Amino acid sequence: MIDLQQRSIEIIKGWQFDGAYAACLSFSQYGYSWLRDGAWIAHGMAAVGQTASARAFYQWGARTLWRYRAKVDSLLAKLARGEALLESDYLPTRFKLDGDINQDDWPNFQLDGYGAWLWGLVQFVQAHDDQALWAETRPAVRLTVEYLAALWQSPNYDSWEEHRDHVHPSTLAALYGGFRAVESQEAGIVPAGLADLIRDFVLTRAVAPAGHVMKYLGNEAVDANLLWLAVPYRLLELDDPRFQATLTKIERDIHRPGGGVYRYRKDTYYGGGEWLLLTLWLAWVYLERRQPERARPLFAWAEAQATPTGEMPEQVGDHVLDPSMVDYWINRWGTSASPLLWSHGMYLLLKSKLKD
């Protein structure tokens, strides 16, 4: 039987270039490095002792972000003058592996990855007492905080590159978690009270009458990315009634009994399949709630979706939400992404936690 942990490490290392993790080189649209995906891949790699790989990713992120400091300065200057921003003014959600920005029409104005990068970097620095890495990345951290502090209330694409005109609690949770992490390392970098302001915004604007947090402001459905509210970003604690209500609705609406977790109920991307990384995320929530008996079946399901050669896909299509949309995406971009490095990163993370 294949050692899926070792195979995951091999796949991730094989698609890491000068620190950058390619999301999925075998899929036409994913031959780039996302800060969000990369932060979770790095976190998973560090959890199983692959610290050199994780450290290289954070170094690459810092180099790449610092490279575009003039772009951030220009954006901040336009805001100060009261000028409207263009889509091209924003930093992208994905970079080429050499740090270049691709000049295409991808849905780029997306903030959650920047919060995830901050959070993951600080976790690594503190877990390994790597003050040299902090000194090296600190200028890019400052730049990223300035960028996010100016834009956090702006509607932007969610973590799935959708809904540009809305504000997403999962994105705000990533920013909150990133800011809190930076504060714990060096408080003066983050404007005083900013994290609290973000939390208050979510709790006053994004809680549905039924008590759960919304997919986005004005949409009372749930999205699996709302698990991030508590794990890991702690905008809400696990025992907060608002998170408990959100978790209950996720379990009811988008977790297939005996199977995996969908992104959201109206998902049509490749028909809307069950996502491995989100299934593993729900397992992580259960572990944090001291419910390993609920986490292990989810982990086992995700593990069972690996191919015989140990490749973990983005999603599986056995029980899609909208079968009519499967061929549309295959005809447009080819078959669904596999292996997806984010799936492998989350597998490594949960594998390490189930050993604890």
DSSP string, 155-208: ----TTS--TTS--HHHHHHHHHHHHHHHHH-GGGSPTTHHHHHHHHHHHHSB-
Q: Give the phi and the psi of residue 242 in degrees, each rounded to 5.
A: -70, -35
223 catalytic per annotation: no
Helix (H, G, I), strand (E, B) or coil at 334: coil
First CA to last CA distance, the chain: 23
| Sign of the Cα pseudo-torsion (50, 56, 62, 68, in order) | negative
Catalytic residue (one of 112, 146, 274, 314):
314
DSSP string, 251-288: HHHTB-TTS-B-SBTT--GGGT-EEHHHHHHHHHHHHH
Segments in 48-154 forming alpha helices (H): 51-67, 69-80, 112-128, 131-151
Spatial contact of 283 and 321, defined as CB atoms under 8 Å apart: no
CA distance 90 to 315: 29
- Rg of the chain over Cα atoms, rounded to whole angstroms, equals 19
Catalytic residue (one of 161, 162, 183, 288):
161
If we measure between CA atoms, which residue out of 271, 280, 281 comes closest to residue 301?
280
For residue 289, what are the CA distances in angstroms to 86, 240, 250, 354? 43, 12, 16, 13
186 catalytic per annotation: no
CA distance 139 to 66: 7
Residue 165, classified by CB atoms within 10 Å of its CB into exposed (0-12), middle (13-18) or buried (19+), is exposed
Element (H, E) at 347: helix 341-355
Catalytic residue (one of 37, 158, 267, 274):
158
Element (H, E) at 8: helix 4-14
183 catalytic per annotation: no
Q: Which residues are catalytic?
A: 158, 161, 314
